[in-house]
Amino acid sequence: MSAKLKSFVGPLKWIVAILLLVFTIRSGKLDFEQLKIFVTSPLTAALCCAIAVVWYGTTFFRWKMLLKGQGIEITYKLAFQLGMLGQFFQTFAPGTLGADVAKALYICKKFPKQKVRALSSVIVDRVIGLFALLFLGALTFIASYEHIVQQTDKLIPLILSLGYLLVSIAGAGLLVLIFLPVVKKILDRSSGLIKNWKFLRSPLKQAKQVIQQYAERPGYLWLALFLSMCAHSMAVLVLYIISKQIFGPPPWGEIGGASFFLASVLGLTAMALPISPLGLGVGQVAFAAVFLAFGVGQESFGASIVTGLQIVTLSVNLLGAIFFATHKNEVAEMEALSNSGAESHSLSGTPQDA
């Protein structure tokens, strides 16, 4: 992405976020008064932040293991430092240093002979994280299917369609993981078919190298999937704690445990779309709509709990300032690498944010 386009897209995302937030506030679906729990109940805030730190740490460990699956060893300390620095920059200095760009280029410099493998770990990290979220959604969709079909909200047909899509994606993804060696063979055979398409030779060769490494060590992908599911479950746990603190113990309307999990997963998936910074606005609209469709009974339920989650993640991201202050050399090196290399790399350089 060019510098001019970045300077346009960044402010546009904030405009979208602000407009969506204003919409949820004016429609009565977001009540900031309910978020006073972070002041009146500091123990709840501390517990949520502690869970979020473990959640973040789990995702950083996932990336470390995916690197190891490509034959690259780094310490967990370094993985955690790079992860927190990336979160800090991505949140409080958007456009200056992308979290994935920073990690990818920094690792590439440390392991110049394993550049493609290092970069692929960042891409696979994003893909596995998203797939795990969709996989959890598929499982909870199946578990809460009977409850969903009994609802009469106008969004139920859309939610059912999304649920069927989640199950399809989950099934296809599991088949790819199980038959990864077969995927490699298909890529091997495709080499001859595209020999005249020069622009595809290099990406295909690089993809084959990556798949071969993981096909020989599939346990790292399965471990990454498990860690991702744990991390997403911790995010839902934070949402549950916030819900209980604001609206009292469950049940909340007609929503059950599986439905709460599915509604949270659908909302988190919407927030993962690169529409607004940190899913601001998008999360409020998505959570409000889905939880109402599932029969929660209170208009402000979904938007309020996801706003609480965003307050927690912003607070934890702010902890990255500690690493920013104590690791000046790493920060300067990551910024220099990002500025010099972010514009000229594809798979052999910088992965795009998922």
Secondary structure of the chain in HEC code, one letter for each residue: CCHHHHHHHHHHHHHHHHHHHHHHHHCCCCCHHHHHHHHHCHHHHHHHHHHHHHHHHHHHHHHHHHHHHCCCCCCHHHHHHHHHHHHHHHHHCCCCCCHHHHHHHHHHHHCHHHHHHHHHHHHHHHHHHHHHHHHHHHHHHHHCHHHHHCCCCCCHHHHHHHHHHHHHHHHHHHHHHHCHHHHHHHHHHHHHHCCCCHHHHHHHHHHHHHHHHHHHCHHHHHHHHHHHHHHHHHHHHHHHHHHHHHHCCCCECCECHHHHHHHHHHHHHHHHCCCCHHHCCHHHHHHHHHHHHCCCCCCCHHHHHHHHHHHHHHHHHHCHHHHHHHCHHHHHHHHHHHHHHCCCCCCCCCCCCC
pLDDT score, position 150: 86
> Has residue 4 been placed in a domain?
no
> Has residue 261 been placed in a domain?
yes
Dig out the tokens for 205 from the structure.
């060769």
Query: Do 168 and 272 belong together in one domain?
Result: yes
pLDDT score, position 232: 96
Query: Do 245 and 269 belong together in one domain?
Result: yes
Query: Do 165 and 297 belong together in one domain?
Result: yes
Query: Do 142 and 256 belong together in one domain?
Result: yes
Query: Do 133 and 259 belong together in one domain?
Result: yes
Integer angstrom CA distances of residue 145 from 86, 132, 228, 337: 38, 19, 24, 48
pLDDT in tens, the chain (354 residues): 445 555 566 677 778 778 888 888 877 777 778 888 888 889 999 999 999 999 999 999 999 999 999 888 999 998 998 888 878 877 765 544 455 666 777 787 778 777 778 888 888 998 999 999 999 999 999 998 988 888 888 888 999 999 999 999 999 999 989 988 887 777 666 665 555 666 566 666 777 777 888 888 889 999 999 999 999 999 999 999 999 999 999 889 888 888 899 999 999 998 888 787 778 888 999 999 999 998 898 888 999 999 999 999 999 988 888 877 776 666 666 666 555 544 433 333 322 334
Q: Which residues have C-beta within 8 Å of that of residue 353, sequence separation ≥ 6?
A: 98, 100, 126, 274
Do 228 and 132 contact (CB within 8 A), yes or no?
yes
Query: Do 183 and 40 belong together in one domain?
Result: yes
Query: Do 83 and 167 belong together in one domain?
Result: no
pLDDT score, position 8: 61
> Has residue 269 been placed in a domain?
yes
Integer angstrom CA distances of residue 332 from 9, 24, 74, 316, 326: 25, 40, 20, 22, 12
pLDDT score, position 351: 28
pLDDT score, position 197: 63
> Has residue 288 been placed in a domain?
yes
pLDDT score, position 75: 92
> Has residue 187 been placed in a domain?
yes
> Has residue 158 been placed in a domain?
yes
Q: Which residues have C-beta within 8 Å of that of residue 219, sequence separation ≥ 6?
A: none
CA distance 62 to 121: 10
> Has residue 2 been placed in a domain?
no
Query: Do 84 and 180 belong together in one domain?
Result: no
pLDDT score, position 342: 42
Query: Do 195 and 159 belong together in one domain?
Result: yes
pLDDT score, position 350: 26
Query: Do 298 and 339 belong together in one domain?
Result: no
Query: Do 231 and 291 belong together in one domain?
Result: yes
pLDDT score, position 348: 31
> Has residue 149 been placed in a domain?
yes
Query: Do 302 and 219 belong together in one domain?
Result: yes
- Tell me how many domains the chain contains: 2
Q: By residue range, what is the domain housing residue 163? A: 9-22+31-72+125-316
